[in-house]
Amino acid sequence: MPPDRAPYDVVVVGLGLAGLMAGLGATSGGARTLLVGKGHGTLRFRSGTIDVLGYWNDRSLGSPAEGLPAVAAERPNHPYALAGEDLGSGLEAIRTTAGAAGLDLDGSLEANRMVATAAGTMRPTCLAPPTMRADWDGAHVLVVGLAGYRDFQADLVASVLPAAGAKLGLEVEARAATVDLPSLHRHHLSGLELARLFDQSAFRRELLAALRGTLGDATVVALPAVVGLEHAPEAADDLARQLGVPVAELPTLPPSVPGLRLELAITAALRRAGARLQVGTFVRAIPQGGRIGWVEIQSPGHPLRVPVGRMVLASGGLASGGLEVRLDGTLRETVAELPVWLPESAQGALVGRSFLESSGHPVSLAGVQVDGAMRPLGREGSPLYENLFAAGGLLAGADRAVEKSADGICCATGWRAAQEAVA
Amino acid sequence: MSEPILFNVDEVALSADRCIKCNVCNTVCPVLPVTDLFPGPKYCGPQAQRFRSGHPVETWVDYCSGCGACSRACPSGVRVAELNARARARMFEQRGIPLKNRLLSRSETLGRMGSKAAPLANFGLNFGPGRVVVERILGVPREAPLPSFSQGSFRRRFRRIPQPERPSLRVGYFCGCTTNYYEPRVGEAAVRVLTRAGIGVELPEQHCCGLPFISNGDFKGARKLAEANLKALLPVIRSGKRVVATSTSCSLTLKHEYREVLGLYGPEWEELAAGVYDAFELLRELAWQGELELDATLTQRVLYHGPCQLRSHGFGFPAADLLGTLGGIELAESGVECCGSAGTYGFKGDKREIAFRVGQPLAARAKEHRAEVVACDSETCRWHIQQLTGLPARHPIELLDDAWSQAERTGD
């Protein structure tokens, strides 16, 4: 028997960016909110930038705003076609939330900016921390590697960066220096340990001393994106001031320090707003009449039944477990057993021939179809449950990896779903 | 014809293959940031798992505290902590279990002996030279917090607590060794709270849950206790009663460790797991159904720490949910995964320093909140927290009992 007193107004399933955005929207609307999910979301391994729309129809976009009308016109079930209007408010919400934790996110829908990666390549993004902004054109970059840290090879970055810049019409010169410091002599060195070291001024002094002779004519010092976790802005400012040149952070392999900074900023804001966050369990949504009656949190032994006022489903796509491919090649949605839409192109073959197919895989477009109020649709095209809203990677119609649109979709649809859920 | 291969698949062992190397586990591990002796859950869990078949296991697996933060954080469902617990047991199988682990496991035997001669035993444990002996034999550093034996077990005291005349519900209380031998006051508070909520409480036959054996690598000993508990508790559950516990580590062992760590799978074990509840989980359920009004006041600044084992139950923080509704309370949550103690981990020699460092954020949080008391559902955590913070650490059910007793006295 389900409980009959709803302890929460809104239950959000999923702890990735879309779920957290929905949580921010719900709590700012005054709702008592529970966020629950199986594990932490992808922020901890994405790069900490907010990608909105980098490419459309194989064309690189100068700004997301420039491409949005085409998306809406050409792909009616694309999340931007449905919730594009909320993109501005969603981005503003994340910017304000990050800002309250001292983390700025620069940029606007009017321009994409190029961020350099740990492979030495450049890719477009919309919002990024100030440390990922650099004046690449005409720059003399000193790429600094840290001995023992395998996830950032300064030589590789310095050898690829000039060509990557040239492709975009940027003139970039780069050279590499890898510094070996006593503090780096650890058994295990990941980005996280480095970030905790960068938080300490003693380590920064050690690094500065080692860099002093190598700076030369450098106009930018590029480092892996591990410059501080809890005191990141302070660490980056301190380094830049002491070096006398700007510091650029290059996102590298997981764990993602900039992503973690952003997640911690959002979850802290959610807790301040009174939301309850619960990490660790699978969840099932149980229908009751034309609505979701309660969620069953799959705690060991017996499920915990939490009655649902309104529910936001933000459990992610295939990579996050929100969608699953069955052995027979059909897809299922794992929390509420919603119908999954598959593009015609995927009917015969879900995926292309190679893993990193530049044109994307047909299955990437698969997902849950929603109406303009983010309500999941049944096979006949009408909303299935009056109190269920979906957001984020779960939604059909976007090839996020090819479009570079994953974060923007989470912001727009998470925000929109929350507005509908508290309406 | 061959058997279908998907039959009898060990979900826990298989889960290692789901690791996508996203490193989320490493971002939550409380041990990794404070010591180089532990390489973190990703290496120690799914990565090392591939090399374990038939080979000796690395000794650093013993530095995993078993707090389970990694398993909870994993978006792909890898049972990292469970893999580590099994690997630790195999390591001890290969190398032999150290005497200190053998002794520390036996909380029931120690408790039974200690509480029979409580004044003498307590004198021995509080007295400098006594602690040197304990340090030598048990490997428990002399500054580690040890509980005092209680004079007379909880089982004896239980009979004196009046039961409701017409209970709305009957439960069997699993008190655990700590409540029985060291802290009967927690059990007394629990029974008072439950009976006041209209619940009839029985104290069925029971044994140590076996968790100390599991964390000290003695699976054989743990399985014996598991079998004994199954035999004692299934009849309670089959008579329609829930088994209710106040120690969230004992209840997690009954619900989860028996199956996923000891590998005791089967319908009876599932029945046991399904029938075990945390006391606050039950009370919260009643509150959600409108069958329980707390209606009491507790004017205290409380820091609530949901211990790591409670977090693995996946039912949120029922104690904090209920305490938060008390009038006058200034309640804050610790927001940290683990206090460092993680069962007997923080009591063992070189791990004490690690446990202390892991606990620093919790101590800072208590200070920041200007807490007068720390509430925590797990016993070893409370003892550790008391040392970390210098504050009294109490079971949340004791706080609820205080609030209700006060309400009764003032006739509210």
Distance from CA of A319 to the nearest CA of B (A): 9
Class of the CATH domain delimited by B287-410: alpha beta
pLDDT at B109: 73
Interface subset of A 125-164, CB within 8 angstroms of B:
none
DSSP letters, A283-350, are: EEEEEETTEEEEEEE--SSSPEEEE-SEEEE---SGGGTSEEE-TTS-EEETTT----B--GGGTT-S
What is the per-residue pLDDT for B5? 47
In CATH terms, are B11-95 and B287-410 the same topology? no
Q: Where are the domains of chain B?
A: 11-95, 154-286, 287-410
Quick one: residue A2, left, alpha or beta (phi over 0 = left, psi -120 to 50 = alpha)? beta
Closest Cα in chain A, distance from residue B72 (Å): 4
Residue A44 contacts residue A256 (beta carbons within 8 Å): yes
pLDDT tens digits, A223-243: 999 999 999 999 999 999 999
Strand intervals (E) in A14-102: 33-37, 55-56, 59-60
B window 253-282, beta carbon within 8 A of A: 255-256, 259-260, 270, 273-277, 281
* Beta pairing, strands A55-56 & A59-60: antiparallel
- Helical packing angle, B107-116 and B118-126, nearest 10°: 110
Q: Whose CA is closest to B339, among B373, B380, B302?
A: B380
Last residue of a domain, one of A245, A280, A311: A245
d(CA B360, CA B10): 38
Closest by CA to A309, choosing from A377, A235, A384, A388, is A388
- A305 and A409 within one domain: yes
pLDDT at A322: 96
Co-location of A269 and A235 in the same domain: no
Q: A105, A107, A110, A108: which is closest to A67 by C-alpha? A: A110
Structural domain contains residue A123 = no
| CA atoms within a 13 Å half-sphere pointing along the CA-CB vector of A18 | 31
Question: Are A389 and A301 in the same domain?
Answer: yes
CB count in 10 Å sphere of residue B94: 10
Structural domain span for residue A225 = 135-245
Closest approach of A334 to chain B, Cα-based (Å): 13
B307 contact partners, CB below 8 Å, separation of at least 6: B248, B249, B338, B339, B376, B377, B378, B381
Same domain, A406 and A336: yes
Nearest partner of B148 among B184, B196, B190, judged by Cα:
B184
Residue of A nearest to B286 (CA): A3
Of the two residues B11 and A314, the one the predictor is more confident about is A314
Say whether residue A200 is in contact with chain B using an 8 A CB cutoff: no
What contacts B133, CB < 8 A, 6 or more positions away?
B124
Answer with the one of A214, A245, A276 that is the final residue of a domain.
A245
Instruction: Say whether B40 and A188 touch across the interface (CB within 8 A).
Output: yes
Average predicted confidence (pLDDT) for chain A: 95
For testing the chain B interface, which of A32, A187, A298 should be mutated: the one with the most B CBs within 10 Å? Answer: A187
Testing the interface with B: which of A283, A304, A323, A335 to mutate, by most B Cβ within 10 A? A304
Write the CATH number for A410. Answer: 3.50.50.60
Tell which residue, A417, A272, A396, has the closest CA to residue A331: A396
Q: Give the DSSP letter of residue B46.
A: I
Chain A nearest-CA distance from B75, in A, is 4
Judge whether A283 and A13 are in contact, CB under 8 Å: yes
Domain-ending residue, one of A195, A219, A245? A245
Q: Are residues A225 and A324 in the same domain?
A: no
Q: How many domains does chain A have?
A: 2
> What is the pLDDT averaged over residues A373-402?
97
Per residue in B299-335, is it b (16+ CB within 10 Å) or e — as a string? ebebbbbbbbbbbbbbbbbbbbbbbeebeebebbbbb
Contact B256 A300 (CB under 8 A): yes
Which residues make Cβ contacts (< 8 Å) with residue A22, sequence separation at least 6? Answer: A10, A12, A312, A314, A389, A391, A414, A415, A417, A418, A421
CA distances (Å), A72 to each of A360, A395, B287, in order?
19, 15, 47
| A251 falls within a domain | no
Would you say A346 and A358 are in contact if contact means Cβ atoms under 8 Å apart? Answer: no
Let me know the angle formed at the C-alpha of B51 by B46 and B57, rounded to the nearest 5 degrees.
Answer: 95
Residues 6+ apart with CB under 8 A from A356: none
Inter-chain touch B314–A298, beta carbons under 8 Å: yes
Residue B36: list chain A partners with CB under 8 A: 186-188
Whether residue A356 is predicted with pLDDT greater than 60 in this model: the reply is: yes
The CA distance from B368 to B19, in Å, is: 37
pTM of the model: 0.93
Does the beta carbon of A303 lie under 8 angstroms from any beta carbon of chain B? no
A281 close to B (CB below 8 A): yes
Q: Return phi, psi of residue B315, to 5°.
A: -110, 20
d(CA B190, CA B54): 47
Cβ pair A7:B256 closer than 8 A: no
* Confidence (pLDDT) at A2: 47
Contacts of A413 (CB under 8 A, 6+ apart): A18, A79, A82, A83, A86, A374, A390, A391, A392, A395
**Residue B4: per-residue pLDDT:** 44
Answer yes or no: do A83 and A160 share one domain.
no
Q: Which of A42, A186, A280 sits opposite B314 (nearest CB)?
A: A280
Distance of alpha carbon A259 from alpha carbon B55, whole angstroms? 37
Top residue of B5, B11, B24 to mutate, by most chain A CBs within 10 Å, is: B24
Confidence of residue A1 (pLDDT cuts 50, 70, 90): very low
- The whole-number pLDDT of residue B54 equals 63
- The answer to whether B263 and B10 have CB atoms below 8 angstroms apart is yes
**B201 interfaces chain A, CB cutoff of 8 Å:** no
Which among A4, A46, A184, A192 is the top mutation candidate for probing chain B, defined by the most B β-carbons within 10 Å of its own β-carbon? A192
| B72/A4 CB distance under 8 A | no
Q: Which of B39, B259, B285 sits opposite A3 (nearest CB)?
A: B285
> For each of chain B's 412 residues, which pLDDT tens digit applies?
444 444 456 888 889 999 999 999 999 999 999 999 999 999 999 999 888 876 667 888 999 999 999 999 999 999 999 999 888 888 888 878 777 777 767 767 776 666 666 666 665 555 556 666 666 666 666 666 667 777 778 998 999 999 999 999 999 999 999 999 889 999 999 999 999 999 999 999 999 999 989 988 899 999 999 999 999 999 999 999 999 999 999 999 999 999 999 999 999 999 999 999 999 999 999 999 899 988 899 999 999 999 999 999 999 999 999 999 999 999 999 999 999 987 778 877 788 899 999 999 999 999 999 999 999 999 999 999 999 999 999 999 999 999 999 888 876 5
B345 touching A (Cβ < 8 Å): no
pLDDT of residue A185: 92
Residues A142 and A158: their CA atoms lie apart, in Å, by 8
Q: Is residue A155 part of a domain?
A: yes
Do A310 and A413 share a domain, yes or no? yes
Return the number of other C-beta atoms located less than 10 Å from residue A1's C-beta.
Answer: 5
Helix or strand or coil: residue A267?
A: helix
Residues A237, A93 share a domain: no
Distance CA B412, CA B409 (A): 8
- B409 by Cβ neighbours in 10 Å (0-12 / 13-18 / 19+) ranks as exposed
Torsion of CA A263, A268, A273, A276, to 10 degrees: 80
Looking at the fold, whether A183 and A315 belong to one and the same domain comes out as no
Q: Assess whether A36 and A83 both reside in one domain.
A: yes
B274: nearest CA partner in chain A: A301
Asked if residue A12 is part of any domain, the answer here is yes
CA pair distance A158, A162, nearest whole angstrom: 7
* Whether residue A211 has pLDDT greater than 80: yes
Q: Does A125 fall in a domain?
A: no
Which residues in chain B have their CB less than 8 angstroms from residue A3's CB? 285, 288-289
Q: Which residues of A touch B274 (CB under 8 A)?
A: 301-302
Query: What is the CATH T-level fold of the domain B11-95, as seen in this structure?
Result: Fumarate Reductase Iron-sulfur Protein; Chain B, domain 2 (1.10.1060)
Main-chain phi, psi angles of B212, to 5 degrees: -60, -35
Task: Give the pLDDT confidence score for residue A348 in this predicted structure.
Answer: 77
Instruction: Enter the ipTM.
Output: 0.93
Nearest by CB to residue A279, choosing from B32, B73, B290, is B73
Place of tokens 């606050």: B280
Do B312 and A300 make contact, defined as CB atoms within 8 angstroms? Answer: yes
Crossing angle of helices B128-138 and B118-126, rounded to 10°: 90
**Which residue in chain B is spatially nearest to A40 when comparing CA positions?**
B73
pLDDT tens per residue across span A292-313? 999 999 999 999 999 999 999 9
Are residues B27 and A40, on separate chains, in Cβ contact within 8 Å? yes
Residue appearing with tokens 């929350």? A418
Neighbour tally for A81: CB within 10 Å: 18
Whether B316 and A4 lie within 8 Å, measured CB to CB: no
- Whether A280 and chain B come into contact, CB under 8 Å, resolves to yes
In a domain, A200, yes or no: yes
Structural domain includes residue A109: no
